[in-house]
Chain A
Amino acid sequence: MIVAGRSFRSRLIVGTGKYASFSLMKACHEATGTEMVTVAVRRVNLSDRSKESLLDYIDRERFMILPNTAACYTADDAVRTARLGREAGLSDWVKLEVIGDEKTLFPDTEALVAATKTLVAEGFVVLPYTNDDVVVAKKLEAAGAAAVMPLGAPIGSGLGIQNPGNLELIREAISIPMIVDAGVGTASDATVAMELGADGVLMNTAIAEARDPVKMAEAMKLAVESGRLAFEAGRMPRRRYASASSPLEGVVGARR
């Protein structure tokens, strides 16, 4: 997977939230084979300085850190957070989120496009979390986004790929990478995303909230690999009716 000129062997990007412990998170990251993990940017906890640091559990030689602008509801807040994230992480990459609705966490696409333009002009490599609207995807590409990250279903819902048709349309319409971000619940969801032509998948809850997160992490690694192979192999056509796999001649007992 190549994003903004940088090559990744893994097509899976993984979050760092919701894990029962940092060491479990670390084991999951290793099991996925990922090379990029997302983090949130938040105020330092001044009252509890004894807390372990997330960064102690992320080997930056192996995993690139992608700061997000989660919980930002305006373009201004997202831009401000992105700038802080850049300073903290010393990297220009940002997963841009501008949320439009508290219940669904769907993006405010108008503000998202505006924030993308602002950040691209400041030299950021912008990966916007967006919806499955082709028109918005094209606007984000035109705004200079390095990739487009349409949701499969609401963040943390585990509902899978709710609108594969739209994601296929996005894939056809844009030339930058398409990374399905949000809504994946289990391995087959990730495979479906890859089969329809996604360049990568980003997930967090699907792994962190599995009963056995490390096992699910491994499942996701295989799911993304298998989905990509299937996509590259070129699937058979769908048919309305049956098409026999065994020959129709020489059937025992047949009479003309």
Chain B
Amino acid sequence: MRLNGEPRELPPGTSVQSLLEELGCDPNRVAVEWNRRILRRTEFRNALVSEGDELEVVTFVGGG
């Protein structure tokens, strides 16, 4: 699968929630796009990442 544009290996059936935990991301401070669809926070635990998925995990940074 691809995470933020980079290829990544994950055990099959990894949930987005566990992926975020592994990355050290606070789920309340990020937004996740799963195959171009915005994933609600309530869906993180049930969304299981599979091969070929494209995930974007974004947060707020400084800007004008």
* Residues of B that sit less than 8 Å from A by CB: 3-6, 23-26, 29-33, 36, 38, 40-41, 56-64
Contact = CB atoms under 8 A, between A and B. Distances in A.
Interface string A159-197: 000000000000000000000001000000000000000
Nearest to B23: A46
Nearest to A41: B58
Given A17-B64, A44-B25, A83-B38, A88 B58 contact: yes
Given A43-B4, A43-B5, A43-B58, A204 B30 contact: no
A42 B61 contact: yes
A83 B33 CA distance: 9
6 contacts: A16-B61, A25-B62, A43-B58, A46-B4, A70-B63, A87-B40
Given A44-B25, A49-B24, A87 B31 contact: yes
Given A43-B5, A49-B23, A84 B38 contact: yes
Nearest to A69: B63
Contact of B60 (A15, A40, A202): A40
Nearest to B4: A43
Interface residues of A, number: 37
Interface string A11-39: 00001111100000100000000000011
Contacts of B6: 46
Contacts, number: 99
A44 B57 contact: yes
B61 A54 contact: yes
Contacts of A15: 62-64
B43 to A, nearest CB: 11
A203 B64 CA distance: 7
Contacts of B30: 44, 88
B62 to A, nearest CB: 4
B40 to A, nearest CB: 7
A46 B63 contact: no
A85 B31 contact: yes
B4 A54 contact: no
A53 interface: yes
Given A46-B3, A84-B58, A38 B33 contact: no
Interface in A76-112: 80, 83-89
A129 to B, nearest CB: 9
B63 A84 contact: no
A253 B23 CA distance: 88
A80 B58 CA distance: 12
A44 B4 contact: yes
Contacts of A65: 60
A39 B57 contact: no
Given A39-B60, A70-B63, A205-B64, 8 more contacts: A19-B62, A38-B64, A41-B59, A43-B57, A44-B58, A53-B29, A83-B38, A84-B33
- Closest A-B pairs by Cβ, 10 of them: A40-B63, A204-B64, A15-B64, A88-B31, A87-B31, A39-B60, A17-B62, A16-B62, A49-B24, A43-B4
